[in-house]
Amino acid sequence: MRQDLIDQARAVLARNDRGHYTVPTHGLYPFQWNWDSALSALGFAHYDEARAWTEIETLFDHQWEDGKVPHIIFHEMDDGYFPGPDVWGTARRIPTSGITQPPVTGFAVRRIFDRARDKAMAERRARALLPRIHAWHKWFYRNRDPQGTGLVAIIHPWESGRDNSVDWDEAFARVPTEGVAPFQRRDTSHANPAHRPTDEQYKRYIWLVQHFRSLGWDNTRLHDASPFRMVDPGFNAILIRSCSDLADLAQQLGETEIAADSRAFAERGIAAMDSLWHDGLGQYVCFDRAAGKQIDSPSIGGLLAAFCAIPHARAQAVAARIATLAESARFMVPSHDPTAPEYDGLRYWRGPVWLIVNYMISDGLKEAGQAGMAQRIDTDSIRLIEESGFAEYYDPITAEPCGGGSFTWTAAMVIEILNTEKSPA
């Protein structure tokens, strides 16, 4: 275990710690982000279990009454980020955004609980979180799967966490830009504009926000009202895995009704995932629900599907697909195929490597018996840190650090990877 790297990673978390929540990095992202917090809690849990539970509890303190957990909580005012609370207009006492993010919390809570040294505290705090996480999962299937397919749709690219993925290009072209109020981006003043989404994409992001705000953020209406309705295999895999893990945790805690509900969500989702398989690419792909067709895009979203309990043959194929990508990249796993014409190794989700996705893919492959590829991904993740520090993301060929620096969830993943090398979960 590399104690020097763990110590550096802990220093990053300390720098971004605001007491009861962390910011992803100072300047670029000055608020609390949803899946950042859940994944960051995994890092805290290795040396401060109480702080890990607090991170997640703070997130759920801002859960909406219908069960949704928003993707940003604006704890303190900071004009260094756009779009801020005034653009979202959600009218919450503590302002939040109006959309959500990948629901990785069920997975994180189960893992923190299973490893807990303070079992009494873990049981008390997990028991309190259990119905709230379950309410969020039910919200997804109620509001984002109105036809009961077993798979949910995202209605804004930001919900996926993969904001400017090539997966969205065709569907995103349907989103208009007329009527978008003038705005001044802040992200490009903190990071190289060549690493960020384009201004044209940003106009469409904001059009969707304005559109949903005009509907009063009524979640029963937003799915059908959005011109962007995408079934993302990676997003669904995270939800399915969290449902499965919540089922196991609920069973341990004697919450049999939550366990049964969660197990049913996971089983239906796993069965439905096969509709997203693409034989030609040898991986899962997105489904454009608005257009009624698969998206032929070789992105990391289809590889992240391995995070949930896909059939072993599919997991083996995903591992083989990653091995093919390794022929054109030095570091796994690029967020888009480097041989594809749309690939851009420096621009956000159009090519770079992200440690959080590496971690989830690796974890799923280990569960599926693909330990060799999982180890290769873990090794590449640590090599990137050694070469380029704790960046937001990295070029998969040159290892150039991109986006924000001293990044919380990157540091948390280093702590998690190095600690679990020593004592696997």
Q: What is the pTM of this model?
A: 0.97
What pLDDT is stored for residue 339 in this prediction? Answer: 98
Taking alpha carbons only, the member of 363, 357, 351 closest to residue 395 is 351
Residue 23 · residue 408 · CB < 8 Å? yes
Tokens of 119: 């079992």
Q: Are 67 and 138 in contact (CB under 8 A)?
A: yes
Average pLDDT for the chain: 95
Whose tokens are 């809690």? That residue is: 41
pLDDT 10s digits, 378-397: 999 999 999 999 999 999 99
pLDDT in tens, 89-103: 999 999 999 999 999
Both tokens assigned to 283: 């991986």
Token look-up 């993010």 returns 101
Q: What architecture does CATH give domain 1-420?
A: Alpha/alpha barrel (1.50)
Query: What is the rounded distance in angstroms from the CA atom of residue 136 to the CA atom of residue 103?
Result: 8
Integer CA distances (angstroms), 89 to 42, 63, 400, 423, in order: 32, 16, 37, 46
* Whole-number Å distance between alpha carbons of 87 and 158: 15
User: What length does the chain have?
Assistant: 425
Closest CA to 107 of 56, 141, 54: 56
Is 403 in contact with 347 (CB distance < 8 Å)? no
Residue 1 — very low, low, confident or very high, per pLDDT cuts 50/70/90?
A: low
Cβ(400)–Cβ(346) below 8 Å: yes
pLDDT tens digits for range 24-77:
998 888 999 999 999 999 999 999 999 999 999 999 999 999 999 999 999 998
Determine which helix (DSSP H) or strand (DSSP E) holds 202, and give its type and residue range: helix 199-214
Q: What is the pLDDT of residue 277?
A: 98
- Which residues does the annotation mark as catalytic? 163, 392
Q: What is the pLDDT of residues 138-188, one digit of tens each?
A: 999 999 999 999 999 999 999 999 999 999 999 999 999 999 988 776 676
Give me the mean pLDDT over the 349-374 stretch.
98
For position 286, what pLDDT does the model report? 98
What are the structure tokens assigned to 255, written together? 């919450």
Give the Cα separation of 239 and 241 in Å (integer): 6
SS3 at position 171: helix
